[in-house]
Structure 1
Amino acid sequence: MADIHVEEFYKDVAIALIQLYAAFPRRINLFVEDIAGPDEPDEFGLHSKRHMACFGALLWLSEEGLLRYVDTIRQEALDQAVLTREAFVRLSAPAPQALIRELNASSTEAELPPSVQKDLSTYIHLLRSALKSGSSSRISLAVQSSFFIDTGAGSVH
């Protein structure tokens, strides 16, 4: 079992990427509260560790070249965020069939038309399906497979 902060990181990343993909190519404000939930700053105006971990995950996505943004809105949001070309192409790409079966993303896929099957085999669909399942292990596998692991060889990029 992974550390809870790592599981939260994968969930935050999945939610952020799904929000950005849904808006692509428009730029949007990416609010930490929409991803990690409500936060009440303490008496000194400092955010919780959970809030700051989510904000850090968003900044990390930018540093790794998966999203761009114009500015931060304090520590509450990324202003005018958009997926990079690399992230958009990867999320739109078909995932390996073995990964789709492992994540059990579409058990009724064989009954669907080929165009729908193609849409359901993309990395973005795997992320959406994993997030909808609520399973931390499915979410982490979907995020790792989308960006960090070469699913053919099982090695990190």
Structure 2
Amino acid sequence: MADIHIEEFYRDAAIALAQLYSVFPRRINLFVEDIAGPDEPDEFGLHSKRHMACFGALLWLEEEGLIRYVDTIRQEALDQAVLTRQAFIRLSAPAPTALVDAAGVGRGEDQALPQSVRRDLSTYIHLIRESLRSGHSARISQIVQATFFADA
């Protein structure tokens, strides 16, 4: 089992990428609270470690060329965030068969679906969304790692 902060990082990255993909190519404000949950700054106005870790994950996604944004809104959000071309292509690409099979895509009743639908169900973004729905930390980590290391 990975360290909790690493599992939270993968979850935060998955949520951010899924949110941005769902509105692509439109730019949106990406709020930390929408990803990490509500946060109450302390008496000095400082955010919790969890909030700051999520904010750091968003900044890291930009540093690694997966998202772009115009500015930060304090430490609350990224202003006008959008996926980069690299991220859009990677998320839209089909995942390796072993990863898709492990996720249960292409089994049973899925075989009756048209090839184009099965292709959509095998993309990285679909696997990310399914792993988030499952809520299983190890599965989210596995899919996000595979997405980060994919050749697109």
Whether the TM-score (by the shorter chain) exceeds 0.5 is yes
Conserved 8 A contact 1:13-1:57: yes
Give, in angstroms, the shift of residue 114 of structure 1. 1.1
Unaligned runs of 5+ in 2: none
* TM score, norm. by length of structure 2: 0.95
Give, in angstroms, the shift of residue 47 of structure 1. 0.3
SS at match of 2:79: strand
Conserved 8 A contact 2:32-2:76: yes
Give, in angstroms, the shift of residue 149 of structure 1. 5.4
User: Match for residue 54 of structure 1?
Assistant: 54
Task: Write the mapping of 1:12-91 to structure 2, written as runs, cut at 5 A.
Answer: 12-91=12-91
Distance 1:36 1:89 in 2: 26
Unaligned runs of 5+ in 1: 151-157
Conserved 8 A contact 1:105-1:129: no
Distance 2:105 2:13 in 1: 19
SS at match of 1:7: helix
Distance 2:117 2:141 in 1: 25
Dislocated runs of 4+, deviation >4 Å: none
Amino acid at match of 1:124: I
Distance 2:60 2:105 in 1: 27
Distance 1:76 1:132 in 2: 25
Aligned length: 151
Alpha-carbon deviations, 1:93-145, whole Å to 9, x = none?
Answer: 01111110122245432121111101101000000011101111110010000
Percent identity between matched residues is 75
- Residues 51 and 105 of structure 1: CA distance in aligned 2, closer, same or farther (over 3 Å): farther
Distance 2:138 2:103 in 1: 9
Query: How well do the aligned residues superpose, as a CA RMSD in angstroms?
Result: 1.4
* TM score, norm. by length of structure 1: 0.92
